[in-house]
Structure 1
């Protein structure tokens, strides 16, 4: 299977699983990725999502053999039916998504990672906006996300030149959250997902929504948005539990409700 999906506790673990192709996407893999993201959205017991790759790479982007296949889906369908739905589902998922970048993340693979809520990487991992090297433009939301993460000049240079960015440099420039050494990466990145899965899920989902709204609203409008979302958050069972736990000086037991 090109995607391996597991439920472990309250975490939905998605493993990109074409290691012989450095986990490059083809149509089968892209459609299956969408199916498991939909399952994560539907399942109430899944309260966080963890995406990683099998083998040496996180994801090398698009399988170019499919692009050049005259019987293949063609570039238009690859974007409209593969990558755009994947990154949209991740961004709109009302649960936190961790990208655990275990190796190289190139092209669409890099941008799928960058659209996740928390991106961590192994020390040996790297990120490449590989599009210009084959005469394409960055897609999969890259032209939206990267300038907002690292600034216009840095994003422009990385996309035009296609430079390889080591994980430590990606952390330094604010592209990703944190780097773990290779030996502790799997454990440390998984602990992040487990931690998120025990937190107040609805509030985290509303935090994601507030962040998305902030790109398109004025300060005044965003204050109004925060007010609306805060009223919704204050009506959740987890808010009541959080306040009670604080007053009783104990660890809260959030249920995601």
Structure 2
């Protein structure tokens, strides 16, 4: 089991449940969360979805050990949905999506905030967009959604630097809506989810549609640019050095790469 699902008062709570791997997304978890979002979208008894993580992390992003296998093993068996399927489900999700960042959030654990209608974050949590430290490109339309959320320079720092961003910095940027003490995070997120869930689902869906529809073409174009850049860089010298360094528990050294990398 990689995902916990529970319902209460028209709120469906999804909890990432690979705490031993800091809730890193392997193919199984990508598929489980995608299936859960698709099911919630089609379930007339669900008004709101709340997403959080189990343990000390929200999500450490894509499982890098599995990512290394994918990069080096042409025969690796991929999941039904994978990363692309999850992002598709997020783009198309028609109901309010609340995200409660309970701990460390890296990669998709951070960029998913671009799809959150309301984002809550523990004061002890922190996040990172590690793309340049992995020798790859942005993902999940973050190259479009982050500047729209926080402005160009804060987005540039988040996406270019691969540095940690504290909860306070995330709130000041506008990446998250509310900060909560760790013990208050889920109760506060659930309280807001319950307030929304008491409204007519048809109205919630209509409001979200009118807010998100103007951005769909730009999100699609951003994803195409990102996917092309990611495909070019994945398995390249910088990416392989980063993945090898991770497997060997050391810092990557990009200074000896061929010119242009």
Identify the TM-score tier after normalising by the shorter chain: 0.7 to 0.9
- The aligned counterpart of 2:14 is 14
Cα displacement (A) at 1:22: 0.5
- Supply the distance in 2 between the matched residues of 1:154 and 1:170 (Cα, whole angstroms): 10
Structure 2: runs of 5 or more not aligned: 218-261
- The aligned counterpart of 2:87 is 87
State which drifts further: 54-63 or 8-17: 8-17
- The aligned counterpart of 1:153 is 153
Structure 1: runs of 5 or more not aligned: 218-257
SS at match of 2:154: helix
Residues 164-179 of structure 1 correspond to what in structure 2 (within 5 A)?
164-179=164-179
- Supply the distance in 2 between the matched residues of 1:3 and 1:31 (Cα, whole angstroms): 10
Residues 234-245 of structure 1 correspond to what in structure 2 (within 5 A)?
none
* Moved >4 Å (runs of 4+): none
- The aligned counterpart of 1:227 is none
- Supply the distance in 1 between the matched residues of 2:17 and 2:145 (Cα, whole angstroms): 25
C-alpha contact 1:91 1:116 (8 A) present in aligned 2: no
Q: Please tell me the root mean square deviation across aligned C-alpha atoms, in Å.
A: 1.8
1:20-47 alpha-carbon deviations (Å, 9 max, x no partner): 1100001111111111111101111111
C-alpha contact 1:131 1:162 (8 A) present in aligned 2: yes
- The aligned counterpart of 1:229 is none
Cα displacement (A) at 1:216: 6.7
SS at match of 1:55: coil
TM-score scaled by structure 1? 0.78
Bigger relative CO (Cα 8 Å, ≥ 6 apart): 2
Residues 1-257 of structure 1 correspond to what in structure 2 (within 5 A)?
1-69=1-69, 70=73, 71-73=75-77, 81-215=81-215
- Supply the distance in 1 between the matched residues of 2:114 and 2:122 (Cα, whole angstroms): 15
Structure ID, larger Rg: 1
Q: How many residues align?
A: 213
SS at match of 1:95: coil
SS at match of 2:120: strand
C-alpha contact 1:115 1:141 (8 A) present in aligned 2: no
- Supply the distance in 2 between the matched residues of 1:32 and 1:216 (Cα, whole angstroms): 24
- Supply the distance in 2 between the matched residues of 1:122 and 1:142 (Cα, whole angstroms): 22
- Supply the distance in 2 between the matched residues of 1:7 and 1:183 (Cα, whole angstroms): 21
- Supply the distance in 2 between the matched residues of 1:4 and 1:216 (Cα, whole angstroms): 30
- Supply the distance in 1 between the matched residues of 2:193 and 2:88 (Cα, whole angstroms): 20
- Supply the distance in 1 between the matched residues of 2:5 and 2:150 (Cα, whole angstroms): 31
